[in-house]
Chains A and B, each alone.
Chain A
Amino acid sequence: MSATTASLEPARGWTHRFRANPTSWIGVAIIVAVILAAVFASWIWPLDPLEQSVVDRLMGPSPEHPLGTDSYGRDVLARLLHAARISLLIGVLSIALAMAVGSAIGIAAGYLGGWFDAAVTSLLDVLLSFPTLLLGLMVVAMLGPSIENLVIAIAITELAPFARVARAPTISLKSRDFVEAGRALGFSDLRLVVVHIIPNLLSEVVVVASLWLATAIRTEASLSFIGLGVKPPTPTWGGMIREGFENILDAPWLAVAPGVAIMVTVLGLNLLGDGLRDAIDPKVRRD
């Protein structure tokens, strides 16, 4: 109830609270930096991430290769920057898919209620009881490894949280007087949902999206790490950690560099998500 009430407050309030919170700014700065690095990878460090060179394999950090080279002699910094593109792209696409489908399921369940709601809720509970990675692994194993299938697999692992977070406010909003008024005015169910319910729960869904994007990036890395993600030689952070792992004793930077990249990105997304949540959700607001 209270979460919904908060999102019904004037928009001015929460943007102000978000801006007043210094940690959310750190989150924003990190995410903007990661995005810029991914987009301008070729300008920032113009080496080819795929070019192999047997002579230069497993070199330590040096001016020519600030993060060294891997076992094929590829430049690690170039691979790291290009991997950011793939990792962010897969993360964002899978979250967008999970958000669209998951919220739709949650809103439908909350709005229609009855046996449909009961069935959906039970299914979501089953879905939630699987560990994320295991579920992703099963889906990729069934569909076969490719970027599209990876996006679908990660999206499936994150349907349930979106469905849940959309369902609860739908239930409280549908009995709100302004929705009831719409019904009395002869508005269709579709109009009530699209015009009067969705805009009032969107902010909560967006908060969840920013928090789960971090998990999506981690899931992608984990799947790539065990070889079920993006196929080599395309660089991804998870794939780079797996490759680096073989030489962890001789060339630790190979695994550490992508590991740090994942950590920083996840941290940035979590700070951003926490900032959004604190700004929107009154239960954790401190004033």
Chain B
Amino acid sequence: MSAHPILAVEGLEKRFAVGGGFLRRASQVHAVVGASFTVAERSSLGLVGESGCGKSTLARCLLRLVEPDAGSILFEGEDVRRMDGPALRVVRRRMQIVFQDPYASLNPRRTVLQTLAEPLRVHGLARGTEIEERVAAAIAEVGLPADSARRFPHEFSGGQRQRIGIARALVLAPRFIVADEPVSALDVSVQAQVLQLLEGLRERHGLSVLFVSHDLGVVRHVCDRVAVMYLGRIVEEAPVPEIFDDPLHPYTQMLRAASPVPDPKSRFALPRVVGELPSAMEPPAGCAFHPRCPAAMPRCSRECPTLSPVGTGRRVACFLHSPAP
């Protein structure tokens, strides 16, 4: 644990009302439950888990694209949750997001120039020809052809659109980037190009990154630390490569075993996976993972383990690894 954190999240909570309507009570989904973690300066934290585990919601809470219900989000020492309109606008220059779907994340009726110039104008960061210069620099930096500025999103391939999305996130010169599944919609060969671009930008600009992904291979490659979520809770957090080579939480172990590896010798890991993700509306009592857990104990269905330090720089929420009560 080296540098001091650029982002420190404490006890973050988010509930959604689902269903409901006239004369019908909505049920609640507890999408994020007491999430606490830090992202060190110039480092990248991976957030992994299966669909519906709350990883995207958590990521969007950090930027207040989704309003959290409780907890604090300290970004460079200031609580983002307490900021009002003007302060929030200023902080948004410094934290940005890259989206998953390169087709949905760009306004189809705006040229690349319009898309990239708009943030500069809105924040009054550049004027006149300076805008075009900064846009041209951003286009060059993400490896798009120089004549891209006047073109519309539909003239680009998926990988190129993702580069436009990255350029838009970078144009305000942020310090921290949330990357929400930035390569999962792309072909394997294009995915590698975009990952390489993100890596290069992170080094050159000294960015800190929260990298949300369901692909453990990608996360292993780009992240320094990884947090694993299951049904709204962080169940394990540890540095790479330890979390993949020696996962502690049974869920991390299951996820790791199920992740395909391009090696036919790894085939025999499959039968260890049991059960499906329970409904987030009615999570199991105790540890939410216990119905699928091969090592479940009676205690696991009654109490919920807390995320506690284990060894050096690791945290895990599992009674197998907590000191006896």
Complex interface bits, B28-62 against A, C-beta within 8 A gives 1, otherwise 0: 00000000000000000000000000000000100
Q: Does chain B have a CB within 8 A of A231?
A: no
Structural contact, A177 and B118, CB atoms closer than 8 A: no
The listed residue (B88, B92, B104) touching A178 by CB distance below 8 A is B104
When A177-B99, A178-B104, A180-B99 are in contact, do A185 and B152 touch as well, CB less than 8 Å?
no
**Chain A residues numbered 54-102 whose CB sits less than 8 Å from any CB in chain B:** none
Which of B88, B95, B97, B152 is within 8 Å of A181, CB to CB?
B97
Mask of A186-208 contacts with B, CB within 8 angstroms, 1/0:
11100100011001100000000
Measured as residues with beta carbon below 8 angstroms from the partner, the interface class of chain B is 20 to 34
Q: Does B221 contact A (CB under 8 A)?
A: no
Asked if B202 is at the interface (CB within 8 A of a chain A CB), the reply is no
User: Cβ of A249 < 8 Å from any Cβ of B?
Assistant: no
Contact A9 B154 (CB under 8 A): yes
| CB pair A180 B65 closer than 8 Å | yes
Q: A178-B106, A185-B92, A199-B109 are in contact. Are A191 and B122 (CB under 8 A)?
A: yes
Residues A1-31 near B (CB distance < 8 A): 8-11
Is B93 positioned at the interface, with any CB of A under 8 Å from its CB? yes
Question: Would B105 and A177 count as touching, CB distance under 8 A?
Answer: yes
Q: Which residues of B contact A184 (CB under 8 A)?
A: 63, 65, 92, 95-97
B105 CB to closest chain A CB, in angstroms?
Answer: 4
Contact B122 A186 (CB under 8 A): yes
Q: Is the CB of B105 within 8 A of A186?
A: no
Cα distance A181–B108 in the bound complex, in angstroms: 13
Cβ distance A107 to chain B, nearest Cβ, rounded Å = 16
Give the contacts of B49-104 with A (CB-CB under 8 A).
60, 63, 65, 88-90, 92-93, 95-97, 99-101, 104
Once the chains are docked, how many angstroms separate the CA of A10 from the CA of B95?
31
Question: Is B168 touching A181 in the complex (CB atoms < 8 A)?
Answer: yes
In the complex, what residues of B have CB within 8 A of residue A178's CB?
104-107
- Collect the chain A residues with CB atoms within 8 Å of residue B88's CB: 186
A195 to B122, CA, bound (A): 12
Interface of chain A, helix or strand or loop or mixed? helix
Give the one of A11, A176, A178, A180 with max B CB within 10 A: A178
Q: Is B119 an interface residue (CB 8 A)?
A: yes
By beta carbon, the residue of chain A nearest B119 is: A185
Please, how many angstroms separate the alpha-carbon atoms of A186 and B125 in the complex? 13
Given A186-B88, A186-B92: A177 and B152 interface contact (C-beta under 8 Å): no
- Most chain A CB within 10 A, of B101, B104, B154, is at B104
The yes or no answer to B123 lying at the interface (CB within 8 A) is: yes
A183 to B172 alpha-carbon distance, docked (Å): 14
How many angstroms from the CA of A177 to the CA of B118 in the assembled complex?
16
- Nearest chain B CB to A150 CB, angstrom units: 36
**Contact A185:B96 (CB < 8 A) given known A10-B152, A191-B122:** yes
Q: Which residues of A contact B95 (CB under 8 A)?
A: 184
Across the interface, do B123 and A200 meet the contact criterion of CB distance under 8 Å? no
The answer on a CB contact under 8 Å between B65 and A185 is no
Contact of B108 among A10, A185, A188 (CB under 8 A): A10
| Residues A200 and B107 in contact in the complex (CB < 8 Å), given A10-B154, A186-B89, A186-B92 | yes
Which residues of chain B have C-beta atoms less than 8 A from A11's C-beta?
Answer: 109
Q: For the complex, what is the distance from the CA of A181 to the CA of B161, rounded to whole Å?
A: 14
Kindly identify which residue among B92, B101, B119 contacts A177, using a CB–CB cutoff of 8 Å. Answer: B101
Within 8 A of A (CB), among B163-185: 165, 168-169, 172
Q: Which residues does chain B contribute within 8 Å of A176, judged by CB atoms?
A: 104
Most buried by A among B63, B122, B152, B172: B122
| Whole-angstrom CA separation of A93 from B97 in the bound complex | 44
Cα A195 to Cα B109 in complex, Å, equals 10
Of chain A, the residue at the smallest CB distance from B100 is A177
Question: In the docked arrangement, what's the CA distance between A176 and B165, Å?
Answer: 14
CB contacts (< 8 Å) of B100 on chain A: these are 177
Known: A9-B154, A177-B99. A183 touches B107 (CB 8 A): no
In the assembled complex, how far is the CB of residue B103 from the closest CB belonging to chain A, in whole angstroms? 9
Query: Which of A176, A177, A183, A191 has most chain B Cβ within 10 Å?
Result: A177
B108 and A9 contact, CB distance less than 8 A: yes
Write out the residue numbers on chain A whose beta carbons fall within 8 Å of the beta carbon of B93.
186
In chain B, what residue has the closest Cβ to A179? B107
What CA separation (Å) do A111 and B56 show in the bound complex? 22
What 5 pairs between A and B have smallest CB-CB spacing?
A177-B105, A186-B92, A186-B89, A177-B99, A10-B154
Q: 5 A-B residue contacts at CB 8 Å?
A: A11-B109, A180-B60, A183-B65, A184-B92, A200-B108
Q: A residues near B, CB below 8 A? A: 8-11, 176-178, 180-188, 191, 195-196, 199-200
A180-B60, A184-B96, A199-B109 known, 14 other contacts, Cβ within 8 Å: A9-B154, A176-B104, A177-B104, A177-B105, A178-B107, A180-B65, A180-B97, A181-B97, A181-B105, A181-B168, A182-B118, A187-B118, A188-B122, A200-B107
